[in-house]
A = this chain, B = another copy of it.
Amino acid sequence: MHQPLLDDAKEDTDNAEYAGFKEDAADMKNVQLKDQCRQCGNKLCSISTLRKKLPCIKWIPKYGLRELQCDAIAGFTVGLTVIPQGLAYSKLAGLPPQYGLYSAFMGSFIYCFLGTSKDITLGPTAIMSLMTATFATSPIPQDPTYAIILSLVCGVVQLVMGTLNLGILVNFISYPVINAFTSAAAVTISFGQVKNILGLKNIPREFGPMVYETFAHIGETRIWDTIMGLCSLVILFLLKKLRTIDWKDEPGAEIKLSQKIARKVLWLIGTGANAVIVIAAAGIVAVLHSQNITGHLSLTGHLKEGLPPFKVPSFSVTNGTETYTAGDIFSGIGMGFFIVPVLGLVETIAIGKAFARRNNYVIDASQELIAIGAANIIGSFVSSYPVTGSFSRTAVNAQSGVRTPANGIFTGAIILLALAVLTPLFYYIPNAALGAVIISAVVQMVDFAIVKSLWKTNKMDLVPHLFTFVTSLAIGIEYGILIGIGVSLLILLYPVARPPLKTLVRPGILLVQPHQGMLFPAAEYISESIVHKATKGGRPRSVVLDFQHIVKIDYSAVQSLKQLFAEMKRKGQCVVLVHVQPQVMFDLHQAEIPFLIIRSTVDEACEDILAQADGHEMILPQDISDEEHPALA
């Protein structure tokens, strides 16, 4: 409903003529808003709205064989990446490994129809998995009920936010905060995998205790796990290098077909490095097992074969004697219902914008919310936990030459195939190899270079960045990002709450001109400061309040004006408003403020105050103001 309205308002305001533009933008906007309201009815069911809400109708008509070929290759390549990542991330989320695959295919299918970026690929991500473990850990070990409900509600919240055009929310999370958050998440997640590499057990999830316990238990390191983990890690980094080799061809030199094929194969190995490592590790283990050499490595183990059932998510779970009801689940997840949807949005938008810029298209944050929301809702029917856009797989997708979002169909198909036939083979995958997959995926998210850059360009931005990073590690990344957002908004809003007040003292009169809109963060401060100044130093003075820069007042401002007038009245002085703009005038009259006096100029106000001080009665305000301000007529 909101969407066309807000979008158009933006459009029209922008087109305002540079030269003829007046100060009262708010007033102007008002007129435009009314204009759009009239057009709203037609707009809602227009073709452009449909194209916006169902972006696939843009590319489906133009879809050809070339697109199919490119999308198929990209889709398969992403599929090869998501299978090992899905198995690894589901462990991070505290769930059995098949849930990572359950979470991977529905997002791919849905995004294909609702998404606005050809590059983004939805599915389980490291941060969403960590958030699932943080907010939706069931009291019953390995039970997915909480995670599935989180996915459902998270989807509903995102869908509602998208429909209300709340994609704008991402603009209020500044880049230094997002950057610190992803760095902290990457540090937490990577260090969390050290236990898998070393084969340690019973390590807690919070960063502080995790580091402590990991070092405390270092003596229990299992040598085979460590060898497997470190080898996987090193080979993984080397293989990924293959993808980005610069062959340094002489300009104009001819490249042989065999060379071309060899390069393509190396690139494919680099891109499918995760799959290569996992298959190789599992193969080695399988061979050892066939030789009856077992028990040295901790393995993925048995996982449920076949596709997940399509069913309405269960709202309660029973563990023998104890039953956890919907109420328990909802109060258990708590703040997760707010934080997870927003983090999902932030992750997708951060990734989407990066690739949209590179490939020269624009993504629509609100439509992305609708796409992720739908994916999470429908995903919850196939036992998915919350998904969002994955950085590493989106990069793979883009590099594989994807043309349209249709690639998601191929990615989804590969995952379904794997679930249907490959699950018995997953038994042999060592946890240490999966740990290496996670570390190599998240370690690129760590970015300390920004600190230097912030120090150089804007030191004030370092404050929210460092706050976010330190609190994320100290008390958890879910709190860190909230604190970071709070700190950056506080820095942004400080001038709004404590606007400069220009003052000038004349005999018996104090002139005050607030600099900005008189809105709730500043309302009390302004009226208290005025009383303080007017009564400072002996005999109180009357106040002339210049409303020249005030284009908007809210309820709090009205209340504090009332208090200001009443308090000055008690002290035997009056307050006179001057230069009141029409809209503000209207609001003030609506509020029926006692003792309200309005004059048009400062001089007029001063004359009246001095006349009153000489014993004359001041003319009641309402008598003249209506005539002076035709806007009220």
Is A63 located at the chain interface by the 8 A CB criterion? Answer: no
Contact of B175 with A501 in the complex, beta carbons under 8 Å: no
Contact of B503 with A16 in the complex, beta carbons under 8 Å: yes
Is A511 located at the chain interface by the 8 A CB criterion? Answer: yes
Q: Produce 1/0 per residue, A486-527, CB < 8 A to B.
A: 001110111111101111100000011101000111101100
Contact of B357 with A563 in the complex, beta carbons under 8 Å: yes
Is A25 located at the chain interface by the 8 A CB criterion? Answer: yes
Hey, which chain B residues are within 8 Å of A498, CB to CB?
10, 168
Q: From residue A182, how far is it (CB to closest CB) to chain B in Å? A: 15
| Assembled-state Cα–Cα distance A496/B26 (Å) | 12
Contact of B204 with A327 in the complex, beta carbons under 8 Å: yes
| Assembled-state Cα–Cα distance A529/B15 (Å) | 11
Contact of A528 with B362 in the complex, beta carbons under 8 Å: yes
Q: Produce 1/0 per residue, A237-267, CB < 8 A to B.
A: 0000000000000000000000000000000
| Assembled-state Cα–Cα distance A171/B554 (Å) | 14
Q: Produce 1/0 per residue, A215-252, CB < 8 A to B.
A: 00000000000000000000000000000000000000
| Assembled-state Cα–Cα distance A326/B207 (Å) | 15
| Assembled-state Cα–Cα distance A479/B18 (Å) | 44
Is A555 located at the chain interface by the 8 A CB criterion? Answer: yes
Contact of A590 with B16 in the complex, beta carbons under 8 Å: no
Q: Produce 1/0 per residue, A553-569, CB < 8 A to B.
A: 11110110001000100
Complex interface: stretch among A79-87, A190-198, A268-276, A450-458: A450-458
| Assembled-state Cα–Cα distance A461/B520 (Å) | 10
Contact of B18 with A515 in the complex, beta carbons under 8 Å: no
Hey, which chain B residues are within 8 Å of A521, CB to CB?
171-172, 492
Contact of A171 with B520 in the complex, beta carbons under 8 Å: yes
| Assembled-state Cα–Cα distance A28/B495 (Å) | 13
Contact of A554 with B482 in the complex, beta carbons under 8 Å: no
Knowing A327-B204, A489-B489 touch, does A13 contact B555 (C-beta < 8 A)? Answer: no
Contact of A175 with B559 in the complex, beta carbons under 8 Å: yes
Is A17 located at the chain interface by the 8 A CB criterion? Answer: yes
A1-15 contacts to B, CB under 8 A, are 10, 13-15
CB closest chain-B residue, reference A462: B555
Contact of B500 with A519 in the complex, beta carbons under 8 Å: no
| Assembled-state Cα–Cα distance A342/B555 (Å) | 22
Hey, which chain B residues are within 8 Å of A488, CB to CB?
520
Cβ-defined partner of A176 (8 Å) among B457, B524, B555? B555
Is A312 located at the chain interface by the 8 A CB criterion? Answer: no
Is A209 located at the chain interface by the 8 A CB criterion? Answer: yes
Knowing A14-B503, A520-B174, A555-B175 touch, does A456 contact B591 (C-beta < 8 A)? Answer: yes
Q: Produce 1/0 per residue, A425-464, CB < 8 A to B.
A: 0000000000000000000000000000110111011000
| Assembled-state Cα–Cα distance A495/B499 (Å) | 17
| Assembled-state Cα–Cα distance A482/B337 (Å) | 13
A148-190 contacts to B, CB under 8 A, are 168-169, 171-172, 174-176
Is A143 located at the chain interface by the 8 A CB criterion? Answer: no
Is A35 located at the chain interface by the 8 A CB criterion? Answer: no
| Assembled-state Cα–Cα distance A327/B498 (Å) | 40
| Assembled-state Cα–Cα distance A489/B204 (Å) | 37
Q: From residue A471, how far is it (CB to closest CB) to chain B in Å? A: 11
Is A29 located at the chain interface by the 8 A CB criterion? Answer: yes
Is A621 located at the chain interface by the 8 A CB criterion? Answer: no
Hey, which chain B residues are within 8 Å of A18, CB to CB?
502-504, 511-513
Contact of B492 with A14 in the complex, beta carbons under 8 Å: no
Q: From residue A79, how far is it (CB to closest CB) to chain B in Å? A: 32
Hey, which chain B residues are within 8 Å of A479, CB to CB?
335, 338
Contact of A590 with B502 in the complex, beta carbons under 8 Å: no
Is A587 located at the chain interface by the 8 A CB criterion? Answer: yes
CB closest chain-B residue, reference A512: B18
A515-550 contacts to B, CB under 8 A, are 515, 519-522, 524-525, 528-529, 533
Hey, which chain B residues are within 8 Å of A513, CB to CB?
18, 21
Closest 10 CB pairs of A and B: A18-B504, A174-B520, A461-B555, A457-B591, A21-B502, A18-B502, A25-B500, A171-B521, A13-B500, A335-B335
A residues whose Cβ falls under 8 Å from a Cβ of B: 10, 13-19, 21, 25-26, 28-29, 168-169, 171-172, 174-176, 204, 206, 209, 327, 331, 334-335, 338, 353, 357, 362, 453-454, 456-458, 460-461, 479, 482, 488-490, 492-498, 500-504, 511-513, 515, 519-522, 524-525, 528-529, 533, 553-556, 558-559, 563, 567, 587, 590-591
Q: Can you report 16 residue pairs joining A to B where beta carbons are below 8 Å apart?
A: A13-B500, A13-B501, A14-B501, A15-B503, A17-B504, A168-B494, A168-B498, A174-B554, A175-B555, A204-B327, A209-B327, A456-B591, A457-B558, A461-B555, A492-B521, A493-B493
Additional A-B contacts beyond A168-B497, A362-B528 (20; CB < 8 A) = A13-B500, A14-B501, A15-B503, A17-B504, A18-B503, A168-B490, A171-B525, A172-B520, A174-B554, A174-B555, A175-B559, A176-B555, A206-B331, A357-B567, A458-B553, A458-B555, A458-B558, A489-B493, A492-B493, A493-B493
